Amino acid sequence: MKTAEEPTASLRQTLEWLRKELAEMQIQDQKLLLALRHLRSVLEELRSESAHWEEAVSSSGTSPIRARAGSEGRGHQPVSSRRLAQLLQGVDGRRSSLP
């Protein structure tokens, strides 16, 4: 025979599970936001570099290789696809669990 406290304990466990899942989702949302911000900055850098290349090619007939060599000294480091994969790996780590 069920007691009156059994549903309450079950409800507590369910609520606790929901709180835990929501907290995990918030962490994943933060990681996703960071990854998206990083991607945006990478895209902006690539657009800027592309515009620089196009400008260098169109003016004075400079080759893209020389234009690239000139842009290397500006302190921009190449974007690592491995680093991007690491960022996204933290986002895709979502596990599915049930109470």
- Is residue 30 assigned to a domain? yes
Q: Which two tokens stand for residue 77?
A: 């480091």
Report how many domains make up the chain.
Answer: 1
Structure letter (DSSP) for residue 69: H
Q: List pLDDT tens digits, range 73-99.
A: 455 555 566 766 666 666 545 555 555
- Is residue 77 assigned to a domain? yes
Q: What is the pLDDT of residue 45?
A: 93
Distance CA 40, CA 33 (A): 10
How crowded is residue 85: how many other Cβ atoms within 10 Å of its Cβ? 10
Residue partners of 6: CB distance under 8 A and separation at least 6: none
Q: List pLDDT tens digits, range 14-71.
A: 999 999 999 999 999 999 999 999 999 999 999 999 988 888 888 766 555 554 555 4
How crowded is residue 56: how many other Cβ atoms within 10 Å of its Cβ? 19
- Is residue 97 assigned to a domain? no
Full domain range(s) for residue 28:
11-91
- Is residue 18 assigned to a domain? yes
- Is residue 81 assigned to a domain? yes
Distance CA 86, CA 93 (A): 11
